[in-house]
Amino acid sequence: MPTLNLLQAVNDALRLEMRRDSNVVVLGEDVGKFGGVFRATAGLYEEFGPDRVIDTPLAEGGIIGTAIGMALYGLKPVPEIQFSDFIYPAFDQIVSELSKMRYRSGGQYTAPVVIRTPYGGGIKGGLYHSQSPEALFIHQAGLKVVSPSNPYDAKGLLLSCLRQNDPVLFFEPKRVYRAAKGEVPEGDYEVPLGKCAVLREGTDVTVITYGAMVHEASIAVDQLAEAGTSCELIDLRTLWPLDIEGITASAHKTGRVVIVHEAPRTCGFGAEISALLQERCFTSLCAPIRRVTGFDTPFPYTLDEEYLPLAPRIRRGIEETVSYEA
């Protein structure tokens, strides 16, 4: 089985599906001849040509707005937003149009657009190449939100997204685009949407995270294991629809929960997960649910490592949660 990085796995999924389904088209800024600024679409232009791998004008609202029309007509557009920080010009098209097309037409029209976008910090990108806006989209009825942490999931989740009929935001953790490597089957397979992965089973505390922070949480959990703390590490993979059964089962089991994400804390996805778990697991909980997250500041350029909830901060959050006594 070949070892790929996360970018190569995304590329592999796109190529596989474009060969299988002639309705799949890729569009975005620099995705064609250049193969994308991160090279996620490298080689697709050469194989599928300019009608299916389309370099668009520089307008995110136009990319998503026209992708909606393409999907209405029966194509399967996969627009790339070059950095998720640039998604806001398309926010209206995503929120007002894409997410509501099925509902507002009484189910007559659907627009299953799969929007790929790199997100998160760690590449010295400053305010506008580092943001994690996933919660804004989870808040919108009608959208699915997915974020893989590793190459195997990236390929399998993307293929699943391309074969279902709802609009998806596919957030790719660019911090680990090349760093995350792993074995990826050459052929076709799917990773089901709406199912989390329990990366490590444990009994003392549940650590819930996704995207690039899975790797940081892994480091923290490994260190704590040596110190005798048994952590259950959950990679959500699909943020929405959330695997509510998976996380509640774990919270019931351990009674202590730490949620980790890069996005700012206030109204971040951790807040929703925390609320859901206290509603469902109240009598099982032995400690307040803890959030270890990015801060409620814009994303800083120089102090980016300090902003991110990296392993040391995660470890401290876990330790405090495990040692909490009422």
Partner 1 sequence: MISPAVSRANGKHHGKAKGRAARPKPKAPALRAVKPGGLSNAQLLEVYRAMMRIRVLDDRMITLQRQGRVGFYGACTGQEAATIASGYALRPGDWVFQALREQGVALMRGLPLVPLIAQVFGNSGDLTKGRQMPSHPASRAVNHVSWSSVIGTQLPHAVGVAWAAKLKGHDTVAMAFLGDGATSSNDFHVAMNFAGVFKVPVVFVCQNNHWSISVPTKNQTASESIAVKATAYGMPGVKVDGNDVEAVYAAVSDAVSRARAGQGATLVECETYRMGAHSTSDDPTRYRDQNEVEEWKKRDPIQRAFKRLQSLGAWDAQRDEELRAELLEEVNAAIKAAEALPAPALDTLFDDVYEHETWNLAEQRAELKAASR
Residues forming contacts to partner 1 in the complex (CB under 8 A) are 25, 51-52, 56-57, 59, 61-62, 64-75, 77, 89, 92-93, 96-97, 100-110, 141-142, 144, 164-166, 194, 240-241, 244
> HEC string of 139-162?
CCCCCEEECCCCHHHHHHHHHHHH
* Catalytic residue status for 129: yes
Least distance to partner 1, CB of residue 51, Å: 5
CB atoms within 10 A of CB 183: 11
Any idea how long the chain is? 326
* Nearest Cα residue to 83 out of 46, 124, 54, 45: 124
Sign of CA dihedral 246, 248, 202, 218: positive
Least distance to partner 1, CB of residue 244, Å: 6
Using the minimum distance from each CB to partner 1, give the nearer residue, 59 or 303.
59
In whole angstroms, give the CA distance from residue 133 to residue 119.
Answer: 8
Q: Provide the angle, in degrees to the nearest 10, between the axes of the packed helices 244-254 and 269-281.
A: 60
CB atoms within 10 A of CB 254: 24
Using the minimum distance from each CB to partner 1, give the nearer residue, 43 or 69.
69
Q: Exactly one of 129, 139, 215, 261 is catalytic; which is it? A: 129
Using the minimum distance from each CB to partner 1, give the nearer residue, 53 or 217.
53
Using the minimum distance from each CB to partner 1, give the nearer residue, 5 or 66.
66
Based on the number of CB atoms within 10 Å of its own CB, is 227 exposed (0-12), middle (13-18) or buried (19 or more)?
exposed
Least distance to partner 1, CB of residue 151, Å: 27
Least distance to partner 1, CB of residue 204, Å: 27
Catalytic residues: 129
